Amino acid sequence: MVNYTLAGGRLESEQLEVLSDTGDICVRSPLDRETAPYLEVPVIATDRGGLSTIAIVRIQVTDVNDNRPIFQPRGYNVTLRSDNAVHGPILRLVATDLDAGLFGQVAYRISSGNEAGVFRIDRNTGELHVARPSLLPRSPLHQLNVTATDAAGLKSAVDAEVKVTVSSSGHRIATCEKPRYTVTVKESISQNTVVGGVKDAATASSSTTGTSIRRAFMRDPLLGRPLRLLQRIVPPRATTSDACQEYYGVASQ
């Protein structure tokens, strides 16, 4: 008669159990590949005389499509001039899906608000383009919903909302110097630390002190106030000044 016992850590003990008389290993609680892609547990076999041996059992958890794409951020705002030609993407939507492979591969689609075909979205990159610029001035505000779908057909539970405001000529629009900024910060960074800079293009071109993000400024392009990190999170890829503001609060000065 041999007795089997599990000698794993807390996670393994919570998720697995070994039947003491047979050595069969059973699952006790739901597994999640996205949290723990594998479990490795030592199993001790002890005979009646007290002699024992140990074997390591590795449980590899394979993926199922149990995550929907999630937009982050969910809301996007951009302002375009009615009298200016639009070249390239006007913003980039970002949705992430925690699953692996095709289960985590996201495609983008405009689900509503684009009846006249004014806009088009790159299904792979999420970049939004103006497809018919001549129709842009027909409305001062275009509101679109965008859906993200993984390659197995699971859709985002909540659409992204895009507001495109069309401004008349003569009204200066704040525009980020670059459409996209990447800021790397340590997770241990304290609150209210300046972590990077976003700059209005007009301000940048007239500046004599340089415009690099290395200046460690984070300026609100509309108000010119520095932005500081108010939450201990690393923002995902920000695409517009509005997106930036979802993750950076405007610090009062």
Judged by the rule CB under 5 A, the positions of this chain that interact with Ca ion are: 33, 63, 65-67, 97, 99, 103, 150, 154
> Closest CB to Ca ion among 151 and 173?
151
Give Cβ neighbours of residue 54 (< 8 Å, ≥ 6 apart). 7, 42, 43, 44, 45
> Closest CB to Ca ion among 35 and 139?
35
At 230, which helix (H) or strand (E)?
Answer: none
Smallest separation, CB 174 to Ca ion (Å): 36
Smallest separation, CB 68 to Ca ion (Å): 6
> Closest CB to Ca ion among 15 and 114?
15
Torsion-angle region of residue 69: left (phi > 0), alpha (psi -120 to 50) or beta? Answer: beta
At 57, which helix (H) or strand (E)?
Answer: strand 52-60
**Alpha-carbon gap, residue 46 to 3, rounded angstroms:** 5
Q: Tell me, what amino acid is at 157?
A: A
Total Cβ atoms within 10 A of residue 148? 27
Contact at 8 Å (CB) between 72 and 243? no
**Cα-to-chain-centroid distance, residue 111:** 20
Give Cβ neighbours of residue 146 (< 8 Å, ≥ 6 apart). 71, 93, 108, 109, 110, 111, 121, 126, 128, 159, 160, 162
Smallest separation, CB 239 to Ca ion (Å): 22
> Closest CB to Ca ion among 98 and 202?
98
> Closest CB to Ca ion among 68 and 219?
68
> Closest CB to Ca ion among 33 and 142?
33
